[in-house]
Each structure stands twice: as C-alpha cells, then as structure tokens.
A and B are shown apart, each in its own frame.
Chain A
Amino acid sequence: MEIGIAAVGGYLPMLRLDRKLAARELAWSGLAMPRTGFRAVAGWDEDPVTMAVEASRALVAMPPRALRFASTSAYFTDRAQGALLVDALALPPSLRTTDLANSRRAGTAALLDALLSGHDEVIVAAEKRDTQPGSAAHLAYGDGAAAIRTGKDPAARLAGHASLTSDFIDRYTSRDHPTPYAYEERFVRDTAVKKLLLPAIEAACAAAGITAEQIAHAACVEPVANCWKTVAKRLRCAAPNHCEALSNAAGDLGAAHPLFGLGIALGAAKPGDFVLLVGFGSGVDALVFEVTAMVPGAGEIATLLTEGEVIRDFVRFLNLTGAVSLDWGMRAEFEQKAQATVLERVGRDTIGFIGGRDSTGNVQFPKSAIPVNPTIEGPEPLEDVRLADEQASIVSVTADRLNFSPDPPFDFGLVQFDNGARVLMEMVDRPSGGFKVADRVRMCLRIKAQNVRLGFRTYFWKAAPVARPRLGEG
C-alpha cells in the first residue's frame, strides 16, 4: 500500500501590499528591499490559527486520524494551536494533534513524519511573522497557510525522500530578537546550495529512482533568491519552481511556504509527473512525489494568488504588520477578559460555531435551554448544528466608525443563515463599496478579542463576502 498526498488546501489573506508602494515610500532611506510583486497581509484579526482553519477546512469533511500544525509564529506558546484547530474544525477530541515550531522547515518535517507514519493525517502550516520595518523580510515575507491531507492510495505518491540536518544560520529569530536577523545573501546562497540543497535533492531523487532531469515541477524553498536557479542548472533540471512564483505573488510564507508551493505544483502537474518538494531551515527536507491523478484542491490553489485587494496606504500596511503603534484614543482602552470557566462551558460551541436545532427544526445560535422559537413553550434539548460552513445573507449592517477597531471601520450586523439561524456578527474582507443588506456571506474564523495586557485572545466566526475580487479590480 502506497502513501502520499490525498488532497491539498491553501489560504491567503485578502489584502496585498504592492512592493512598489513600499519601495516608493522608503526610497529616501536607500535601504535594499524587494521591489516587485506582492506581499499577502493578514487582517488584524487573523493569525496562524485562523489561517490554518481556512486552509484545512475543506480537507476535514471526514476526520483524519491525526492533525499536525506547524508554525514559527503561533500566538500561544503553552496552549496547543492543534487543540484550538480541533474545536474550530469541529473534529473529535479523540484526534491526536501535534504542534511543531522553531524552524521554517516545520511544515515539510510535519508532512514527512506524517507520510512515514503511513496514516491518514492533516498537516497544516500557517504563518504571520513579525518583521522589522525597513528590513527586506518586512516586504519579502507574507502571511498565509497551506494544508495537506495524507493517505493511502493517494493522488500523488511519495516516491523518495532525503533529509539533512544542519545548524546552518541564514537567519534566526529568538526570544530576545523576535524579528529575523539575516546574514549576507551571497554567503547564504553559496553555502545552502552546495552543502544542503544539492546533496539533499540528489539523495531524494536517488531514493525515488529518478534523475533530477525527470522532475517536472518543483516547490523548493529558497533561503535567498536564485538558489533554485543555481541548483536547477547544476542538476540540469528544467522544472519551474512554484515556490518562487509564490514568493513573488504573496511573499515567503515560512513554514507554510513549501506546502503552498507544493499545492501550486500539483495543480500544474499531470499524471505521471514527478514533483519535487524542498523545505529549508536548519537543514533540508527533500521529497519526490509521483502524480497519479488530479490532486483534489490543487486546481484552486493557484487562483488564490490572483484574488485580493491591494492596500493603497503604506501606513495601513505598517499598522497591520505592527510596525507602527497608533494612538487610537481612550476607546481602545476597553479590554475583554475571557474566563477559563466560560471557555470550558461554551468555548467549543463558540469556536466551532455550533448552534442548536429545536424540535420544530428551527436552528439558533447560541443554544439556550428554552429555544428562541416562540412556538415552543419550555426547555428542550437541541441537536448540534454547525454553522461555519453555511452560507447566509445580511439583514442589516453598518460601517461603524466610532467603535474602536485596529483596522477601521468596524463592520457588523445581523446575518440570516439559509438554515434559519440568525446571528449578530462582525464582517470582514469588506468589499470596495461596503457591505449591503441582502449581500451573500460566508463564515470565516477570526480573532474575536485580543487582550494585550493579559496576552490572550479569543476566536469567533465572522461574515465575509462569498467571493473575492480579482487582484487589482477591488
């Protein structure tokens, strides 16, 4: 029985920074920085958990045996994001989860471990990394997530693999330096190519019983630009590197980058093609897949690069990436404090968006002892109904400019679900003309409240437009 990739998923936040805008704004400084392409920018209420949910939600209609979450920028350091994902995706608590971190290679490491376990698993990697304004990373990095479902009888079988572990420092972050500290590009390129990338790729190809020339598509993480170009030339490999295209269109997604790039590569591949995946960071993971069928989800991933809205204001980008701290006034002093007792009681229903169906069939959120349905006289048990995957329409809405929001305005209103439920909700990914009554919306998990002082956040679902504009048309 062969193991491999059964399906893939990806997510990019809606906003994009056109790097030309940043280059213009920073021209006076003379700083070196990437000047072409786009950087995906997470909303204030997005983080690795919310983006991981978006990337993986289409892959968990049937619960997997295990879930592995990989990120170098997860918010909680002693609260498993995997546990949050189980509840947010309404997966059974018996599912085993693992959080991986501390290396950009965590994404491919998690994938390879899952493949080697031989089980049906979901691997999801997501990043929203802090960067210093003025650094190349501030513009080169992007926010996003990618997910892969492994399984037997796959659409892309694992043909071979190789790994090298090395304390090679191209860049690092630490508790005392939470933004990347990067070393000279030429040193990184020369060393990475020669000592890590070439030997690992050659070993993986050998394990797969192919030569590098047979690789049709590559998803190779490059610690600095043009590594793949050098590697491909040495190996006489003509395959395009889809990770390079991803860097250009959305930025370097960290631990999610190779998995997202693999998704694009699988979408471009045809049955019989060999696809190379390379993860980089404190060493290298190189995996070779043989595509046997169209990989579910792969066709849609490249589309994500072409959708979104370009940020017109550089200061808004600085604000969203935490590069400036604006004085939002006294209204911003309001803090919500979540209580563990309440989260234990209703947290799973909240982050899972679980409402209840009464004996007449009406659905409501949140659940209550006596249903809201006026035809019901007294308390009765409600059947769980997940609202996260239901579509809905706006009943009433406003763009609130008085209430504090880290990225105003604060859109909210009443949302009517097609299944009968009605919920007062925040709205995100606002369309260019704003939200309107009767607009169709879909649900997405976001940060509900951020308590900076206590270092805690809660999550809930918000309503977003069903479709995104094509990039540049929003």
Chain B
Amino acid sequence: MASGIRDKVAIVGMGCTRFGERWDVGADGLMVEAFAEALADAGIGRKAIEAAWVGNALDDINVGNSALPAAHALRLDRIPVTRVENMCATGTEALRGATYAVASGAVDIALAIGVEKLKDTGYGGLPLRTKGVQNDLWMPYGSAPGTFAQLAGAYAARHGIDAADLKRAMAHVSWKSHQNGAHSPKAHLRGAIEMERILGAPMIADPLGIFDCCGVSDGAACAIVTTPEIARGLGRTNPVTIKAVQLSASNGWEMQFGEWDGASVPNTRAAAARAYAEAGIRDPRAELDMTEVHDCFSITELVIMEDLGLSDEGRAPADILDGRYDRDGAIPCQLDGGLKCFGHPVGASGLRMAYEVYNQLQGRAGERQRGKVDFGLTHNLGGSPFNSVAAVAILGRLN
C-alpha cells in the first residue's frame, strides 16, 4: 500500500483575497492579491516558485483557459504551470497537484492558486453551461440549487423525517454560518440573519430558499507548499503540514445504477475514508478540531456531516440543532462563514478553506480563533449529489 503524503509537504505561505462582488478587479488582480499575501507570509520571492497549479472552474467567465492567465498575471518565470478543473473541487485539486509535486521530490517549492470571477456573468447564481453535445440531447439542465435540493427530499424519505423539521435544521446551518461570517473580515456576506427570515425566504429550488444557498463570489486564494525541511529553514519551527489530500469521482453509479437512494454523497464517504487513513485519524469525531466543508447549500452541509462520519446516520439534523457544529460546539464547522457567507468563487474555495484551517492551526484567526487547533479538515464537492467529485484534505502540524 502506498505510504501517502502525510507530513511530506508543509504549507509555508497562504493568501486569500476578500471574497465578494469585486467590481473593482479582474481575475488577474485577484490572483496577484492572493499571491502577494502568500509570498509575504512565506518570506520568499516570486522566483522561488518552481512549479504552479492554477485552479479555475469556469474559464469562459473572464479568466481564460490554460495555465497562461495565471502565468501572465503572476509573471511566473517560465516554470511549469498547469491548469486544473474539477468543478467545485477545483481549489483542492490545485493543492493536490502542488502537494504531489513536492512530495514526489520533483520540485522543492510549488504554488497552488485558485481563482474565479463569477460576477462577470451579469446575473446571480452559477451560469448554465453545455454538458457536451451528446449529453445535451438528454440530460436536464438543472441549476446547482436544483441538483442539491434533491438531497432534501431523498434524505427525508430515507430517514422518515418531517420536511418542516428538516427545513428547520437546514435553516440552523445557514444561521450558524451567518453568525460566523460576521467575524470574517474577508467574507462576502458579513451580516447575521434571524432564523425567521431564513425560514421565510423566497424559494429557489424546493425546499431551498435564498438563504439556504451560498454566496456566488469573486475571489482568489493560494498556498505555497514545500518540504518540511525547507519550511524549517524558512523559520517554521513546527510547520503546518498536509496530513492527507484525497479525491473521489463518480463513475455513473449514482445516476445510472439503481442502488443509491439519493440521501448521501458516496464520493465524500470514499474520499473521507481514504483521507482519514492517510492522515492516521481513527476517530474523526474526537480528533478533528474543526471542519470547513462544501456548504454550497444548507442541505449539503447537513448531509456532509454524516458522510464525513461526524454525525450518525439520520442524526445530523438533531446534532445541528443541538449546536454541535456551531462555533462553540464540539466540532465547529465553517468558522470563517463557509461558502455560505465567505462566498464561493468556485476555483478558489478549496484553498480558502485551507487558508482558514492554516490560520487556525497557527493561532492567527483573530476573533474567530477556536483555541488550540491540531487537526482541521477541508471538504470540496463538485458537480451534483448524483454526479460528483469530492475532495477531502486534512491539515495539522508536523509535531
């Protein structure tokens, strides 16, 4: 069995722009903003970067395809630059590429950067795109909330939960993230929202109301990764290290084979199981101090809590309502506000999650700091519940 990448790669610098409606800046400017923060954090110059992975999910929205937009924006010096795209898991996919490059010994210092300029679509929500001329002949064109909303009915049917009770738990997810987002200076949405307003919001895709949906934002985030030895050389006595990065992709089983009941996301379970094994985590409920998960919609976060093994099957609504995942709960989720409030510039989100965990691990999260954090988990979910890519990363410290 492969030994995995636990503790073979350290993060020495991270940057993250303010997320939101960044009318003032393009994708290039967003990347420069995040990169400058990461370089300063790492204490290195631009030319120290030996290879880069750039994540961008919707290249046609004012970013451009290939590695070139990032190479141009950051004036990378004829190094290998690779563009990766894996829907909403793109940010973690970029981190995975850079991490593997360092872990393999191919390079000493690598950059992972994710960027998205969604507000150049001209309208709210994610844009509709072709699924390929062959799939277009039969595949429905549902919106992102439309696909994830279907988790709710299927979850209620599987567990025999009343739709109103489930909606209340979903509303708590959003309420909690708005509370957290208020403490995040770089978050897109920084206002706390009352439960009644969440429950009474206009419907987007039954049963998801507007407050069950995450912000659609502009933003960029990045990480500079290297070996633990070099990290020490840069002054990190106990550097943040990557304990695991795992990915799982659907092969059509959920959509085409008649076994899945639609109430969970199998790829999250597969990626989490491998990540826990790679990180050496045996009891995630006891060992994880925080999570940043892909709360694109409130029901998604609810289901993720079970998929990650943090709640028992059918217990996530009760755990959520009990405050288990609130900022003062047993395993706080979305301390920075999550996709819901920090925002969701698709290609940047995985790295934004890592940015929060990285800061929490170093006690640098300001008023959001959750005491001593030893292990934090990030989770990215691309696509739809029935056709997804899930990424799970676990960060900690070397010692």
Which residues of A come within 8 Å of B, CB atoms?
Answer: 329-331, 334, 336-339, 342-343, 345-347, 350, 362, 364-366, 368, 372-374, 395-404, 409-410, 412-414, 416-417, 420-426, 434, 436-438, 448-449, 458, 460
CB atoms of B153 and A368 under 8 A apart: no
The residues of B that contact A401 with a CB separation of less than 8 Å are: 203-206
Interface-lining segment among B138-146, B235-243, B325-333, B337-345: B138-146
Minimal Cβ-Cβ distance residue in A for B261: A395
CB atoms of B142 and A346 under 8 A apart: no
Tell me the interface secondary structure of chain A in the complex: mixed
Please measure, in the bound complex, the distance between the C-alpha atom of A339 and the C-alpha atom of B137, giving whole angstroms: 10
Minimal Cβ-Cβ distance residue in B for A353: B138
What are 28 inter-chain pairs, A to B, with CB distance below 8 A? A329-B123, A330-B123, A331-B125, A336-B130, A342-B133, A343-B137, A346-B134, A346-B137, A364-B257, A395-B260, A396-B151, A398-B153, A398-B205, A409-B206, A410-B143, A413-B150, A417-B258, A422-B255, A422-B256, A422-B258, A423-B255, A423-B256, A424-B139, A425-B140, A426-B140, A437-B262, A448-B137, A449-B136
The residues of A that contact B208 with a CB separation of less than 8 Å are: 398
- Which size class do B's interface residues fall under? 35 or more
The residues of B that contact A331 with a CB separation of less than 8 Å are: 123, 125, 128
CB atoms of B134 and A437 under 8 A apart: no
Which residues of B come within 8 Å of A, CB atoms?
Answer: 121-123, 125, 127-130, 133-134, 136-143, 145-147, 149-154, 156-157, 203-206, 208, 251-253, 255-258, 260-262, 385-386
Using A364-B257, A425-B140 as known contacts, list a sample of 19 further A-B pairs with CB atoms less than 8 Å apart, ordered by residue number in A.
A339-B133, A362-B257, A372-B257, A395-B262, A396-B150, A398-B205, A399-B205, A400-B143, A400-B145, A402-B205, A403-B146, A410-B146, A413-B150, A414-B386, A420-B258, A423-B255, A437-B156, A448-B137, A460-B137
The residues of B that contact A438 with a CB separation of less than 8 Å are: 157
CB atoms of B205 and A400 under 8 A apart: yes
Shortest Cβ gap from B62 to chain A (Å): 15
The one of A330, A346, A372, A396 in contact with B262, judged by C-beta atoms closer than 8 angstroms, is A396
Question: Contacts A398-B205, A412-B146 given: A404-B257 contact, CB under 8 Å?
Answer: no
Q: Which of B136, B253, B385 has the most CB of A within 10 A?
A: B136
CB atoms of A338 and B253 under 8 A apart: no
Shortest Cβ gap from A320 to chain B (Å): 20
Question: Contacts A334-B128, A414-B255, A422-B258 given: A397-B137 contact, CB under 8 Å?
Answer: no
Question: Contacts A329-B123, A342-B134, A403-B141 given: A374-B257 contact, CB under 8 Å?
Answer: yes
The one of A398, A434, A448 in contact with B142, judged by C-beta atoms closer than 8 angstroms, is A398
CB atoms of A374 and B253 under 8 A apart: yes
The residues of A that contact B261 with a CB separation of less than 8 Å are: 395
CB atoms of A350 and B257 under 8 A apart: no
The residues of A that contact B257 with a CB separation of less than 8 Å are: 362, 364, 372-374, 422
